[in-house]
Chain A
Amino acid sequence: MEDRNYKGYLYLLPAILFLGVFFVYPLFDVFVYSFEESYNFASGTYRGVGLYNYRYVLRDPYFLKALQNTLLLVLITVPLSTGFALLISVALYSIPKLRDFFQTVFFLPYVTNTLAVGLVFMILFQKTPYSNGLMNLLLGLFGISPIDFIEGPYAAKLFVLSFYTIWIVLPFKVLILTSALAGVDEQLYRAARIDGTSRARIFFRITLPMISPMIFYLVITGFIGAFKAYSDAVAIFGVNLNSAGMNTIVGYVYDMLYGDSGGFPSYASAAAILLFAIVLTITVVNLLASRRHVHYH
């Protein structure tokens, strides 16, 4: 037995080494930087130790804006995308003939380049002095005057970003949920039908509980993914997110490191640790809430 254990660890060693060097050590380092005031990469020096960085970041209006954007994005896109994915999957499941075809269609966004999609969204939603995007032409049909979704009011920009995020994450969720639905034992539905169960009751009392582990998985990964949003915003609003007022927390961290205001690893670290704390809290809350509503079998 002992010999075998030793061998097992030997096989794990490469992975452990890589994870240690490129994942655990940086994580630990970020934690340390976040408490070191004005750390300098080049000289490796800092002025003092304390909560100064956190104090600064939490008072920085750009961070607060990024926090607001990220939270709104999470709250809007996670429930909506999961809900839409569920609707689409159930609809797909009820049309066995065209299921494969539509499954492929719905999966296409997943294999499309994010930035390319962002560009297309920008064109669809834009409003320039010379032309209106397709979306504004549509709105025009209903007599609504054109809105600049890209450089206009905050709500419009948030709408575009949410729309885009949902559209991007939907394919994966649909894929997961259709396979979860296909995994439900057909006999359960037959048994329920013979017992005179209404369709709505079958859905809420059998289908939903049976696929609840997958829904829960999607909610957790959805939360984490949405909190880490950055490239989506860049794809639509360009690299200067602060001036567009559409920055996200990860965007803020990036700017603090490399952006125009770059060169502040201490602030970046503090912001990153704050994000980590938020994601951790929400995941723990999710896990606790799931105990009652998710049925593993």
Chain B
Amino acid sequence: MKVLFDHVTKRFPGRGKNKHEEVIAVDDFAFEIPDGKLIGLLGPSGCGKSTALNLICGLLTPTEGRILFGDEDVTNIPPEKRGVGMVFQNYALYPHLSVEQNIIFPLQNLKGADKLTKEQMLEKAREVASLVQIDQLMERRPSELSGGQQQRVAIARALVKLPRVLLLDEPLSNLDARLRLQTREEIRRIQTRTGVTTIFVTHDQEEAMSISDLIVVMKDGRVQQIGRPQEVYDDPANLFVAQFLGTPPINVFRGTIRGNSLYIGEEAVLKWEAQDAPQGSESTEARPVTVGIRPEGFIVDADGPFTCRLNAVEVMGRDVSVVCEHPELTSAPQIRAVIDADEQPDRSQETVRFSLKPHKVLLFDAASGERLHTGW
């Protein structure tokens, strides 16, 4: 089922000291979530992603705009009639019921023509339990399960009534690192098997990038960019998106465009042909810009144009991190460049010189942070 946000805004009344200031949690959302895909709503905490999820499931109703499932306007339909399955951050399993009873709980609510016999319910529960691989645990109580197993029970309970849309709120945040890797692949597998449109919320960009068909990057209640993970990574719409995606994060510098060169400090680190010139570099005057360089955009090169003070070289097996400093760096105290293990710089030197991979160098307007598109 495709989900359409039609200019949806959600405002909350202010509280306490800020009584008269409304909080805009979701600001003019207008996008479509395609049918049968896995979508990650990504953003820092407080960006409105959970509000967006609650709007889809109907626990909240929008202040303005409409929400459509397919062609059906569900804006004013209560949650129980929307046909959504929800997996809560803390799973919200009923602690006094067994796994099996938890899974059939939603089925027992069905009335009238949809009503199922006990056997049909158990049959459905068994099916979905084997899908998420918990069929051996049906008699247990939630407290007797590990975090990952509880997660699966919660997914099974959300899936058993065959929802039109499956929603997951921070599905991996309560799991330890190893289990997180495993579970995110599990979510991908279950989504592919069932084909149900699945929307999950996360603040972890790696999580979103690794399994989503599409990510929606949000900040302060506004959608920043929507696209396939690789697209958004390679071609971010603004500085926020560029900084939010990628580990280690992108290195940000103060720079200047002068003529057909990009300067960081006094060094011309990148030159281009006239047809590749960045937006807004037409004038001959020097223009200050914000420069983002991905960690993998550095090449150690003794004759390279970009000089940094070398602090450390960290060997991580496959890759090597070159940690260095530059006075124009604004994003962090140190630059982190990731290079191949066989291209290590001379550690005895105080400085290291790089040349840059042009497509890993992103330019942004110094004031607004909007992306300045380039031809390279």
Contacts and interface: CB of A to CB of B under 8 A. Distances in A.
Give chain A's interface residue range (CB within 8 Å of chain B). 20 to 34
Interface stretch (B90-98, B130-138, B173-181, B287-295): B90-98
Interface stretch (B78-86, B226-234, B274-282): B78-86
Contacts of B80: 193-197
B146 interface: no
B136 to A, nearest CB: 22
A185 B91 CA distance: 11
Contacts of A185: 90, 92
Contacts of B108: 201
Nearest to A188: B92
A97 interface: no
A212 B85 CA distance: 28
Contacts, number: 60
Contact of A196 (B57, B88, B109): B109
B105 interface: yes
Given A194-B79, A195-B105, A210 B96 contact: yes
B182 interface: no
Nearest to A197: B109
Contacts of B157: 191, 195
Nearest to B88: A187
A205 B86 CA distance: 19
A187 B109 CA distance: 18
Give chain B's interface residue range (CB within 8 Å of chain A). 20 to 34
B147 interface: no
Contact of B106 (A190, A196, A212): A196
B332 interface: no
Contact of B79 (A187, A193, A201, A210): A193
B169 to A, nearest CB: 9
A187 B161 contact: no
B95 A190 contact: no
Query: Ordered nearest first, which 7 A-B pairs have the shortest CB separation?
Result: A196-B80, A295-B96, A195-B106, A187-B92, A191-B92, A209-B96, A297-B95
Interface of B: 57-59, 79-81, 84-86, 88-90, 92, 94-96, 105-106, 108-110, 143, 157, 161
Given A188-B94, A197-B105, 9 more contacts: A187-B90, A187-B92, A194-B57, A194-B79, A194-B86, A206-B94, A209-B96, A295-B95, A297-B96
Interface of A: 185, 187-188, 190-198, 201, 205-206, 209-210, 212, 295, 297
